[in-house]
Structure 1
Amino acid sequence: MEIKIGIQNVGRELSVNADLTAEEVEAEVARALSSGTPLVLKDSKGTTTVVPSASIGYVETGTETKRHVGFTPLPQN
């Protein structure tokens, strides 16, 4: 899932592709904001991103779409 994090006083947003559900991201953000600890996310490649919770402007999660693989029959001539 793609997670976009807006950081206060920074013109660009931070984008992280993590193997988390929207509920898990929401829980991590809520925990970081309530306790004042940094938001720590690990992306699908193993890279860790740390954002100070006081600097978080917004967090946007993408939709959880799974890739569909399928085959269609060839048209008969």
Structure 2
Amino acid sequence: MLRTARIAAYPTDRRRDKAVEVKIGVQHAPREIILESGQSAEDVERAVADALGGKSTLLSLVDDHGRKVLVPSDRLAYVEIGEPTARKVGFGTL
């Protein structure tokens, strides 16, 4: 019983070990929003398509630290989705 609960709590897929960098350009804002998200590139793309297609009035993304980023869909200028990269752990050489 305990082993089953452990498997459910920690899924075997390793999508949590990947981060996707997302850059969002907002109209009439001098700076872009840059965040690293634990969501997959497909999930981010789906959220952007829903916001631009009129299914939702906000683009809502969650970053690595669990913070939500909300952007009104009518203010989106562009969204750049990077390639998934492995998260860095420990002290590496720069």
Q: TM-score range by the shorter chain?
A: 0.7 to 0.9
| Runs of 4+ with deviation above 6 angstroms | none
Q: Are 2:7 and 1:7 aligned?
A: no
Unaligned runs of 5+ residues in structure 2 are 1-19, 90-94
Q: Whose Rg is larger?
A: 1
| Alpha-carbon separation, structure 2, partners of 1:40 and 1:67 | 22
Superposed, which structure 2 residues align to 1:61-76 within 5 Å?
61-67=81-87
Larger fraction in helix: 2
Q: Which of 49, 53, 66 is the equivalent residue of 1:46?
A: 66
Identity %: 43
Match in the other structure for 1:73: none
Unaligned runs of 5+ residues in structure 1 are 70-77
Deviations 1:10-63 (A, max 9, x none): 111001111112111111000011125100111110111100000000000111
Offset at residue 67 of structure 1 (A): 4.9
Q: TM-score, normalised by structure 1?
A: 0.80
Match in the other structure for 2:16: none
Is the contact between residue 22 and residue 81 of structure 2 (CA under 8 Å) also seen in structure 1?
A: yes
Find the residue that maps to 2:85 and give its secondary structure.
coil
- Give the residue type in structure 2 aligned to 1:46: G
Distance of aligned partners of 1:48 and 1:67 in 2 relative to their CA distance in 1, 3 Å threshold: closer
- Aligned-residue Cα RMSD (Å) equals 1.7
Is the contact between residue 39 and residue 62 of structure 2 (CA under 8 Å) also seen in structure 1?
A: no
Q: Are 2:78 and 1:58 aligned?
A: yes
Is the contact between residue 24 and residue 80 of structure 2 (CA under 8 Å) also seen in structure 1?
A: yes
Q: Are 2:39 and 1:20 aligned?
A: yes
